[in-house]
Chains A and B, each alone.
Chain A
Amino acid sequence: MTKNSAPTAVFEDMKPLDGTVILEVGNAQASVCLRLATSFAGKIASELGAKVVKLEPFGGDSVRYAPPFLPSGPDGERSALFKFLNAGKTTLSMPSGSAAARATVDALLSGRVDGVLLEEDSGLKASFAEHPLALVEIAGWPAGMPAITRLSEFTALALGGLLDMIGEPDRKPLRLGGHQASYSAGLSVFTALMALLAERDAGRRPPPARVSLIETAIWLNWKAIAGIDDEGKPPTRQGSQSEFQVVRCLDGWIAVVFSVTQFEKLRDLVNKPALHHEKFATREGRLTHMRELYRYLEPWFAVRTRAEVYHEAQSRGVPLGPVCTPADLITDPQNVARGFIVSLPDAPVSGARVPRLPVLWTGNIRTLTSKLQEMVVL
Chain B
Amino acid sequence: MRPLANIRVVDFGQLTAGANTSAMLADLGAEVIKVESAGFMDLFRSMGNNRNTVPAWWNRSSQFRFTNRNKRGVALDAKNPDGRRVLQDLIATADVVVENFRRGVLERLGLDYASMAVRNPRIVFASISSQGETGPYRLHTSFGSTLEAMGGVAALTGYDGDKPVVSGPHVNYPDQVASLFATGMIIAALREARRTGKGALLDISQRELTSFLVGEEILAASVDAERVDLPRRGNADEAMVLQDCFLASDGRWIALTIENDIDAERCRAIVGWNEGLGDCVASWCVVRPASEAADVLSAAGLAAALVSDGASLIRDRRLAGETLIWCENGEIVKGRPYSFDDAPLNISRDAPDLGQHTREVLSEVLGLDETAIQHLAELGVTRSEPLEL
Contacts and interface: CB of A to CB of B under 8 A. Distances in A.
B209 to A, nearest CB: 4
Interface stretch (A89-97, A102-110, A225-233): A225-233
Contacts of B169: 242-244
B244 to A, nearest CB: 7
A16 to B, nearest CB: 4
B345 to A, nearest CB: 12
Contacts of A353: 218-219, 222-223
Contacts of B237: 153-154
Q: How large is the interface on A (under 10, 10 to 19, 20 to 34, 35 or more residues)?
A: 35 or more
A123 interface: no
Contact of B338 (A150, A191, A232, A351): A191
A338 B165 contact: no
Interface in B321-371: 321-324, 332, 334-343
A133 to B, nearest CB: 13
Given A84-B219, A187-B184, A257-B145, A161 B135 contact: no
Given A163-B245, A327-B221, A355-B212, A195 B134 contact: no
A246 B149 CA distance: 9
Contacts of A147: none
Contacts of A223: 63, 170-172
A255 B298 contact: no
Contacts of A195: 1, 3-4, 28, 187, 338, 340
B327 to A, nearest CB: 13
A196 B147 CA distance: 31
Contacts of A325: 152, 155, 221, 228-230
Nearest to A333: B136
B138 interface: yes
B319 A334 contact: no
Given A223-B171, A377-B139, A338 B134 contact: yes
B67 to A, nearest CB: 8
B13 interface: no
A55 to B, nearest CB: 21
Contacts, number: 520
B218 A330 contact: yes
A236 to B, nearest CB: 6
A375 B136 CA distance: 9
Contacts of B198: 363
A161 B309 CA distance: 5
A81 B227 CA distance: 14
Contacts of A368: 113-114, 117, 201
B4 A198 contact: yes
A222 interface: yes
Contacts of B296: none
Please indicate which of the listed interface residues B208, B244, B342 has the most CB atoms of chain A within 10 Å of its own CB. Answer: B208
Given A155-B305, A359-B185, A368-B114, A177 B155 contact: yes
Nearest to A233: B311
B132 A360 contact: yes
Interface string B205-225: 101110111111111111110
B217 A68 contact: yes
B305 A219 contact: no
B86 to A, nearest CB: 23
Q: How large is the interface on B (under 10, 10 to 19, 20 to 34, 35 or more residues)?
A: 35 or more
B227 A327 contact: yes
Interface string A208-244: 1111101110111111111110001111111000111
Interface string B173-198: 10011001101110111111010001
A166 B234 CA distance: 11
Interface in B110-150: 113-114, 117-118, 121, 131-143, 145-150
Nearest to B173: A176
Contact of B136 (A150, A318, A337): A337
A359 B255 contact: no
A37 B48 CA distance: 34
A174 B137 contact: no
Interface string A245-260: 0101000011101010
A198 B190 contact: yes
Interface stretch (B156-164, B269-277, B373-381): B156-164
B385 interface: no
A58 to B, nearest CB: 18
A319 B146 contact: yes
B136 to A, nearest CB: 5
B152 A173 contact: no
Contacts of A149: 298, 303, 305
A126 B107 CA distance: 51
Given A66-B239, A150-B302, A243-B169, A164 B307 contact: yes
A219 B131 contact: no
A322 interface: yes
B63 A145 contact: no
Given A71-B224, A197-B191, A369-B114, A215 B170 contact: no
Contacts of B214: 177-178, 326
Contacts of A172: 159, 234-235, 244-245, 247, 253
Interface stretch (A199-207, A274-282, A288-296): A199-207
A226 B189 contact: no
A226 B152 CA distance: 28
B201 A334 contact: no
B303 A220 contact: no
Contacts of A173: 245, 253, 255, 307
B55 interface: no
A299 interface: no
Contact of A166 (B139, B147, B165, B191): B165
Contact of B324 (A225, A227, A254, A334): A225
B341 A188 contact: no
A352 interface: yes
Given A166-B157, A198-B4, 4 more contacts: A66-B239, A323-B154, A327-B227, A329-B152
10 contacts: A80-B217, A154-B257, A158-B253, A161-B307, A166-B171, A177-B155, A207-B343, A216-B323, A330-B221, A376-B138
In the A-B complex, the 6 residue pairs with the smallest Cβ-Cβ separation, listed nearest first, are A177-B156, A234-B310, A321-B149, A224-B310, A158-B255, A358-B208
Interface of B: 1, 3-5, 24, 28, 62-63, 66, 113-114, 117-118, 121, 131-143, 145-159, 163-173, 176-177, 180-181, 183-185, 187-192, 194, 198-205, 207-209, 211-224, 226-230, 232, 234-235, 237-240, 243-245, 247, 253, 255-257, 259, 298, 301-314, 318-324, 332, 334-343
